[in-house]
Amino acid sequence: MDEFAIIQRLFAPLAAGHQGALGLTDDAALIDGPGGTQWVVTADALVAGVHFLPDDPADLIARKLVRVNISDLAAKGATPMAVLLAVCFPSDVTEEWLERFAAGLKADCETFGVGLIGGDTVATPGPLTLAMTALGQVATGSAILRSNARSGHDIWVSGTIGDAVLGLAVAKGDDPPGLDAAARSFLLGRYRLPEPRAGLGRALVGLAKAGMDISDGLIGDLAHMCRASDVGAVVEAGKVPLSGAARRCGSAIAALLTGGDDYELLFTAEPGDAASIAAKGGEFGVGVTRIGRITDEKGVKVVDESGKPVALGPLGYRHFAGTGR
């Protein structure tokens, strides 16, 4: 079983009857808040050597932790409010490292306007492990869910796709050929410090019909959205927005469309709302690009300009892939 099978077969039954759990198929859960609001609640775990490199700067690790959680809230259209942090430090962690970690945490709690309201601090004999729970608020019923994609919707993404998977290669010293220092630095930054689209996400409430953030790779995540909505999708590979640095890498488009850690918004909308969505992107200084269409036919197809299928490898990062269990 990969983690999706674990969640669906073993954990989802524990969510049955709890409406706000959304069947464990969304980025976050919903619980009632005060006066016409709902809390959007999400939890993410990051492990050294899996989600970040053990030698990454401590402040950037903390900031990435905040940002991947804020990204989930942004995808639901929620206003970030608070976080809880459960942190398992290796017992040999130094005071200097801790101070740098806390400084990064502070910087991004301020950037995104969230308070640290609780958590747990323990030692581990294993790698640094971080679990954050983030709480945001939406007007009741206005959260942008994964399950509302409908045939005929346009498919949109924010920002550019595939930078982070290239940045990971840079971080590992496995630089794609032909990159100058500026491009390397840009890609590395996109891997280490995602830019959650909190302002844009809130502004898309009412315009975006279905939404999620891209964390495990564009096409794999789109497939999750399609399953949650019981629809399919066609993506035009040539329309997927790439950064200048990514274009210079000359990597196969498949690697960019299936690489993880983008933390951009993936959402659907009525074709008639395209101009309004483009205007929202402009307002927040974030590119927004139409890359395809939701279809009745199930599955996700990626096509080139002539409509021919583009071959893709495995869709999306899987933590337990290939174990045969």
* Binders of a second copy in range 109-148 (CB under 8 A): 109, 115-127, 129, 131, 133, 135
Residue 121 identity (one-letter amino acid): T
**Residue 87 near residue 119, CB atoms below 8 Å:** yes
Binding mask 25-64 for a second copy (x = CB under 8 A): ---xx-xxxxx---x-xxxxxxx-xxx-------------
Residue 62 to residues 72, 86, 129, 140: CA-CA distances in angstroms? Answer: 16, 12, 11, 31
Q: How many CB atoms lie within 10 A of CB 167?
A: 25
Identity of the residue, 99 or 304, whose beta carbon is nearer to a second copy in the bound complex: 99
Rank residues 29 and 179 by Cβ distance to a second copy and give the closer one: 29
Is the distance from CB of 208 to CB of 144 less than 8 angstroms?
yes
Choose one: 23-31, 155-163, 235-243, 307-315; the region binding a second copy (CB under 8 A): 23-31
Helix 95-111 vs helix 58-75: crossing angle, to nearest 10: 30
**Residue 140 DSSP code:** T
- The 277-296 contact track toward a second copy, x by CB under 8 A, reads --------------------
Complex with a second copy: residue 122 or 311, whichever CB lies closer: 122
Residue among 88 and 300 whose Cβ is closer to a second copy:
88
* Binding segment (CB under 8 A) for a second copy, from list 230-238, 256-264, 287-295, 317-325: 317-325
Selected binder of a second copy within 239, 247, 298, 319 (CB under 8 A): 319
Q: How far is the CB of 159 from a second copy (least distance, A)?
A: 23
What are 191's two structure tokens?
Answer: 């891997």
Q: Smallest distance, Å, CB 190 to a second copy?
A: 21
- To 10 degrees, the CA torsion angle through 147, 148, 149, 153? -170
Binding string to a second copy for residues 63 to 102, with x set by CB under 8 A, is what?
A: ------------------xx-xxxxxx-xxxxx--xx-xx
- Asked if 213 and 220 count as a contact pair (C-beta separation under 8 A), the reply is no
Nearer to a second copy, 47 or 303 (CB): 47
State both tokens at 218: 């564009």
Q: Which tokens is 256 given?
A: 């960019």
∠ Cα 31 266 72 (to 5°): 35
Residues 142-201 that bind a second copy (CB under 8 A): none
Q: How far apart are CA 216 and CA 4, in angstroms?
A: 12
In the complex with a second copy, the residue whose CB is nearer, 72 or 154, is: 72
Shortest distance in whole angstroms from residue 143 CB to a second copy: 13
Binders of a second copy in range 209-228 (CB under 8 A): none
Nearer to a second copy, 96 or 305 (CB): 96
Choice between 82 and 254, CB closer to a second copy:
82
314 binds a second copy (CB under 8 A): no
DSSP calls for 32-97? E-STTEEEEEEEEEEEBTTTB-TTS-HHHHHHHHHHHHHHHHHHTTPEEEEEEEEEEEETT--HHH
Round to whole Å and give the CA distance between 47 and 186. 23
User: Segment near a second copy (CB under 8 A), from 21-29, 256-264, 273-281, 284-292?
Assistant: 21-29
